[in-house]
Amino acid sequence: MLDQPLTHYYINKLFKLTLTKIKIMKKLLFSVVLLPIMALSQSNESFLLNMTEINVKNGHNEEFIQGMKAYKKCYTDNGGTYDSNLWRRVQGEGTVYVLTSTMANWAEMDEGPTDARNKCWENIINHVRPHIQSVGRNIARSMPDLSRTTPMPETTSVVYVYNVKTSNDQAFREAAGELTAAMKKADGDSRGTWYDSQGGSTDAADYFVGIPYDNFAAMDVDRDGAWTIYEKANGKAKTDALRAKFRTSVSKDWSYMYRLIDLSN
């Protein structure tokens, strides 16, 4: 059973105590698909991704990070296994972080707090809570049929997340399936992990994919994109038809990059 510090139990408790209004997160993708690097990304098995988007007050970034470091240290010092990851969104308004963790199944949500959480709760109250403007949560399920089969590399420090809202769910999944099949054939595997959102805000993505990179410099490497790969394998006419199908199935799309934050002291 995975031990998940600072996921649904404490986030809900914290903000019931401290915020009069919780902003539902917007444009979370996904956030990416923001997987814990050492967690459940092997993938012929589907898993659940917990995502908590945290908007930090203006001018409070350093205090927030120090508070998170203090919590992690306390948690591990008290025998807990800290397997969440904190990612900072690179683009967009404000100072936004996404805290991620994974679950093998829904039953893990029935688990209560660990001793390490209880012992370290004051760190959240005193050193994290005062610096947060708002919080929002979402959960997504991985899609092994579309995703990479190898784990997220341990060297990952940047994730690119592409999000979509669909107007025709079946058509989108068919088009995405054809595209990823072509990429797997050309590259030997898919480049990212796909997710299917499990309810949540009407502003959240229906689907998103997270593509890992060792660093930002790795994004400068020139590689064929999905449509170029598909066209080389299937020709222009078939590519134009699939592109039209994809575009008409998507009502909205957007993307963000996220940088992994080191919480070591």
pLDDT of residue 6: 46
Q: Which two tokens stand for residue 263?
A: 């919480």
Report yes or no on 139 lying in a domain: yes
State which residues form the domain around 116.
1-165+191-215+254-265
Q: What is the mean pLDDT of residues 173-180?
A: 98
Binning the chain into helix, strand and coil, the percentages to the nearest 5 are: 40, 25, 35
Report yes or no on 92 lying in a domain: yes
CB atoms near residue 253 (< 10 Å) = 16
pLDDT band at 200 (very low <50, low <70, confident <90, very high): confident
Is 70 exceeded by the pLDDT of residue 7?
no
Q: pLDDT above 90 covers what percent of the chain?
A: 78
CB contact at 8 A, 79 and 116: yes
Report yes or no on 124 lying in a domain: yes
Q: Give me the chain's average pLDDT, please.
A: 87
Report yes or no on 228 lying in a domain: no
Report yes or no on 222 lying in a domain: no
Report yes or no on 231 lying in a domain: no
What CATH code is carried by the domain that includes residue 123?
3.30.70.100
Is 50 exceeded by the pLDDT of residue 17?
no
How far apart are the C-alpha atoms of 22 and 10, rounded to whole Å?
Answer: 14
Q: What is the pLDDT of residues 238-249, one digit of tens each?
A: 999 999 999 999
The 8-class DSSP code of residue 193 comes to E
In the chain, how many domains are there? 1
Is 70 exceeded by the pLDDT of residue 41?
no
CB contact at 8 A, 16 and 62: no
pLDDT band at 23 (very low <50, low <70, confident <90, very high): very low
Nearest to 81 by CA among 48, 38, 122: 38
pLDDT of residue 78: 96
Report yes or no on 181 lying in a domain: no
Report yes or no on 78 lying in a domain: yes
pLDDT of residue 113: 83
pLDDT band at 191 (very low <50, low <70, confident <90, very high): very high
